Amino acid sequence: MAKLIYEDGRLLFTKEMKEEYTILIPSMAPYHFEFFTHLLQTEGYKAEVLKNTSFDLIHEGMKYTHNDICVPAMLVIGQFINAIKEGGYDIHKIAVIITQTGGGCRASNYVSLIRKAFKKAGYEFIPIISVNASGMEKNPGFQITTKILFKLINALIFGDLLMQLVNETKPYEQIKGQTMEVYHKVANELNEYFYYHNFRVFFQPNALIHKAIKQFEAIKTIEHHKPVVGVVGEIYVKYSPLGNNNLEQLLQSEGCEVLTPNMLDFFMYSFDSTVHDIKKYGGSFIQSMTFSLINKVIEHRRNKVRKILKNTRYRVPKTFKHIKSLAKGFIDYGTHVGEGWLLTAEMIELIEQDVPNIVCTQPFGCLPNHIAGKGMIKKLKQHYPSANIVTIDYDTSATEINQLNRIKLMISNAVQKETPSNGQR
Ligand code: SF4
């Protein structure tokens, strides 16, 4: 059994553990995280994305976190502890992994919150791996190598693409269930990329992407147009069905098409924010250059996807540069705690795409997103009178009925205002 090694009182994930341990990944974005297991497996790790979503999980979260903490932190901790207790794992051979943003938000402190919760629950022997780009916490058994970075970028590109293809096809499919059938098949085929050998990993698998899009395009759809609803907000509650009470499904069952902005924009925004701060207040030139370079690589790859999408019936997502330009005059680029200016820019992007119907998801206890989301709505409505934005607070101790009523009211406004040009591609 691997020896427990500590550094400054922190339990490390060692090279020995890499061989023996299974890394548990919290579920957040089903379309994106689908690829993480294969990504890590092909790099010599054993990994599993958690699937537990029972009500007990919320209780565990509430029990082991302070009631002041934001909902995403509470759910992630609750999911880990519930999985450790009920998941049937050998608890001496598991580790957990979580991102650490390094910004001013609580997301930088999830690692210490998990550590505290594990100690309270008697699991302090379970190592916690931090994934961060600023060298905050290092572990000898886990490293983001250049190969992993490229695989990660492609996993997120695949996730963004599949999320878009499903959301733009499913509401219009002629044969019920066909879109999800194609989705599972295509996701499996895209996993092939992670098994590419050596330098092939550094190239984008354009043929696989092209084939994926074609398979969705082959699904027969109805002509009927449905109201389009954009979903923005804090990253966890925006993408996680557990965090947002299955918002995507709810909107689809209410007869809407869902449009959720790309997750990669959030990562580009995070890198861009560090570059912004280094320019303004000083810092590492190398870090600034590295982050700018990563953003260039991401955009270069996404441009290839845009090029393929241009000749299809699907929307072509906007560039990060364009999205950033939309925030100008509304909110300062220095506002980058939580989703910061990106949240405002995403709402403008949707409105300018003729999608004024927006659900802005806000976790309970999340001050930054209440400022850049809810706090910006008055200004947005003054500038765009057609904006039909509803903010929904996600609080695990509140009833769902309140959320449902507000969403339904927004949808009925959308249906009333519906024009033939709404949501045009
Ligand atoms: S953005 Fe909000 S929800 Fe996310 S970690 Fe920060 S405070 Fe919590």
Q: Per-residue pLDDT tens for 377-401? A: 999 999 999 999 999 999 887 788 9
pLDDT at 55: 84
Domain membership of residue 371 (yes or no) is yes
Is the dihedral angle over the CA atoms 233, 235, 238, 244 positive or is it negative?
negative
**Residue ending a domain, choose from 85, 109, 143:** 143
Residue nearest to atom 7 of ligand 1 (CA): 366
Atom nearest to 72 CA in ligand 1 = 3
Residue 425 pLDDT > 60, yes or no? no
- Mean pLDDT across 163-191: 98
pLDDT at 224: 86
Domain membership of residue 150 (yes or no) is no
> What tens digit of pLDDT does each residue of 209-259 get?
999 999 999 999 998 889 999 999 999 999 999 999 999 999 999 999 999
Is the dihedral angle over the CA atoms 221, 224, 225, 230 positive or is it negative?
negative
**Residue ending a domain, choose from 143, 178, 210:** 143
CATH assignment of the domain containing 63: 3.40.50
pLDDT at 83: 98
**Residue ending a domain, choose from 128, 143, 158:** 143
Helices (H), 263-363: 264-281, 285-310, 320-327, 340-352
Q: How far apart are CA 376 and CA 378, in angstroms?
A: 6
Q: How far apart are CA 359 and CA 312, in angstroms?
A: 27
* Ligand 1 centroid to residue 192 C-alpha, Å: 34
Q: Are residues 240 and 388 in the same domain?
A: yes
Q: Are residues 240 and 360 in the same domain?
A: yes
Domain count, the chain: 2
Domain membership of residue 412 (yes or no) is yes
Please tell me what DSSP assigns to residue 182. H
Q: Could you tell me if the CB of 340 is within 6 A of ligand 1?
A: no
Residues of the chain with pLDDT > 90: what percent?
A: 86
pLDDT at 419: 55
User: pTM of the full predicted structure?
Assistant: 0.95
Residue with tokens 């709505």: 377
> What tens digit of pLDDT does each residue of 245-270 get?
999 999 999 999 999 999 999 999 99
Q: How far apart are CA 89 and CA 262, in angstroms?
A: 34
Domain coverage including residue 338: 225-262+317-425
CATH assignment of the domain containing 371: 3.40.50.11900
Nearest to 91 by CA among 124, 56, 131, 42: 124
The HSE-up count of residue 255 (CA atoms within 13 Å, CB side) is 11
> What tens digit of pLDDT does each residue of 271-326 get?
999 999 999 999 999 999 999 999 999 999 999 999 999 999 999 999 999 999 99
Q: Could you tell me if the CB of 363 is within 6 A of ligand 1?
A: yes
Q: Are residues 35 and 134 in the same domain?
A: yes
- Beta-bridge partner residues of 147: none
